[in-house]
Amino acid sequence: MANNNRILLISQEIAPYLSGADAQFGKELAQGLQSHGFEVRTFMPKFGAVNERRNQLHEVIRLSGINIIIDDNDHPLIIKVASLQPSRIQVYFIDNDDYFLKADDDIDSAGSNRPDNDERAIFFSRGTLETAKKLRWDPKIIQCSGWIAALIPMYLKRMYNDDPSFKTAKVVYTVMPGKLTLPVDERFLAKLKADGFSTRDIKKFQDLALDTDLFHRMAIDFSHAVIFQDPDATPALIEYVKESGKPYLTADQLENGPQAYAEFYKSL
């Protein structure tokens, strides 16, 4: 089956499952792309703030059950699904009790203040890609949005580069406004190395601050193109993309919302 119009949309937040401007944009992008003729499937974390009963989530047994090892610890992967109304787009939720239960000290729905956000991003990346493989639904564009999806381009390029499900896909990373409010664990790069990344893959990141822009730079390095949804993205990050020579859109080029994304995808 031709996959030229298939988009795998991997978002940090999608309304109505979470609230706020970023979540609303996640919904508008998914539905807007569908209205432009794309076939869309979406993934997001099953953050503790997502109300399962109200949003009619249910577990997909055939996709659940594998264990993902991070830093020598096993973490079971649970997959849940819901249907985004009125478009009926499938939304797959990556869930795990170690990483996505609601915590009392969360300062936002994504838990951007958690000390284990590096492992949460690793788990989300691997869980999403393992599940997408099982779906046997080969996308032409893989759109990753938000810091929790920032490691997915790196995993695609290094760990899943020969997988037929992803081999011909273009990877687009969107820099969203959300920020990590605590520094990333100082063992973050060591955990990536233990997961199979080479010294060469991570060497250039060793002297950088352990913050949100580190996640963004990793995503930029391993993506085909970049979109700045964040109007306050640092000038250094924008310059980093310009120097890479990769196609990009800045926030002031996104007035048309999903239409700007659709035209950008077609240009790739």
Per-10-residue mean pLDDT, the chain, length 268: 81 96 96 96 97 95 94 95 94 96 92 96 97 93 97 96 91 96 94 94 93 97 97 95 97 94 94
| Residue carrying structure tokens 């695609």 | 156
CA distance 183 to 169: 32
The pLDDT value recorded for residue 1 is 37
Whether 68 contacts 124, CB under 8 Å? no
Quick one: which of 190, 183, 228, 227 has its CA closest to 209?
183
Quick one: which of 43, 32, 117 has its CA closest to 80?
43
Token pair in block for residue 213: 């822009």
The letter for the amino acid at 67 is N
Which residues, 6+ apart, have CB-to-CB distance to 186 below 8 Å? 210
Q: Which residues pair with 226 in a beta bridge?
A: 173, 248
Q: Which residues pair with 267 in a beta bridge?
A: none
Query: Which pTM value belongs to this model?
Result: 0.96
The pLDDT value recorded for residue 3 is 63
CA distance 124 to 10: 10
Whether 54 contacts 23, CB under 8 Å? no
Handedness of CA 119, 120, 125, 128 (dihedral sign): positive
Of the chain, the end-to-end C-alpha distance in Å amounts to 21
The pLDDT value recorded for residue 4 is 78
Query: What angle do the packed helices 235-244 and 212-222 form, to 10 degrees?
Result: 10
Quick one: which of 93, 77, 83 has its CA closest to 55?
83
Using DSSP's 3-state secondary structure scheme, residue 235 falls into helix
Domains detected in the chain: 6-267 (3.40.50.2000)
